[in-house]
Structure 1
Amino acid sequence: MTIESAEFVIGISSLSAGRTSGVQLPNDELPEVVFLGRSNVGKSSLLNRLCGKKELSRTNASPAKYREVNYYFVNRSLYFVDLPGYGYAKVPEQVRASWSNLIEEYLQRRRNVSVAVQIVDARHVPTELDLMMAGWIEYYHVPYIVVMTKADKIARSKLTMYVDQTRAAFARHRYMREIVPFSSVTGQGKQDLLNAIAHQVQSAKD
């Protein structure tokens, strides 16, 4: 898979509010690839690197940005959907809970999700929040790819060990399809991830 075009479409903070306010989410039944990850795990940088646009998804944004579902139209054939980063520490618990509800609402209501991309920090064992999110994805029977960002910060001689640790953490999860080490700095894993996404999108069509 090669990305030839990518553009921002819409950002919305509530799926139900969107219906009542007249804001329309895409309803053309094109495949949706959803990206999830803890706040500050490098999700925006990953999206920018994948799409070849430095400012497609703003990095270092305020918490207001993190509470939105953001749609990007890719290759005029599918959507990349950036869900709010979970676990953002600098906001009240009530706000974090509302973001979690938005993520679950999206997974529950959107019917065109072909694959999820769950992003974890390559330097650490997946957290309890990461595994909880994976549980939600599993509950809605969505196949997903685990992406280990910031892989460039790990010595090559140790990367396999870190991948094995991550694989063990997700070992009991039926819908986890692949683990991809990734670096937004060097581009490591970019083509592997794009190929994995393309494979899952095609599998969802078959």
Structure 2
Amino acid sequence: MVAIRPSVKATAPIIIIGGHYDSVAAGPGANDNASGTAVVMELGRVLALRYPKYEFRFIGFGAEEVGLVGSTAYVQALTPEERQRVVAMINIDMISVGDTLYIGGSSGLTRLAFNAASEVGVSNVAGMPADIANASDHAPFAAAGMPVLFLNRENDPNYHRATDTLDKVLPKNLEMVGNIVIKVIENLSGN
């Protein structure tokens, strides 16, 4: 599922904001990853008329849980010109449940995200643990040389379990991540 908000210029820099919409058979997937796709969709609404110098692509990736199939196929379908235009691929995956928001990815975007978290008042953030740093839909973009940012709350006791249900989702954490992404875009654009 892809929604594109075009820019005023056909050759504008591209910002991709995505998250996977599939889950595992063992769990309903409220945090993994309805939380991420909900934020992607809300950002689509909020950013519809903002930052016209960018082309935004809001993507719900399929088949993340079985090997990053959807994001890999999307990256393979990008033209060389599109790949060069991508200034950020922001992956939002499992961001509602857990004490710590982990930030990882390309050094420049990671730095912007840590600064953004501080600016919007989110204090419990840390660098992405190495064991999950490439375990989501941003990885194919990074492997193809595009800048990426990965936002995740990895310490969810309901991960891939039947207890990954809507009642565990904390709306305040979704709002925090949305605000961080907006601040990253604002700082990236120099506004």
Higher Rg of the two aligned structures = 1
Taking structure 1 as the reference length, the TM-score comes to: 0.45
- TM-score of the aligned structures, taking structure 2 as reference length: 0.47
The answer to which structure, 1 or 2, has the higher relative contact order (CA under 8 A, 6+ apart) is: 2
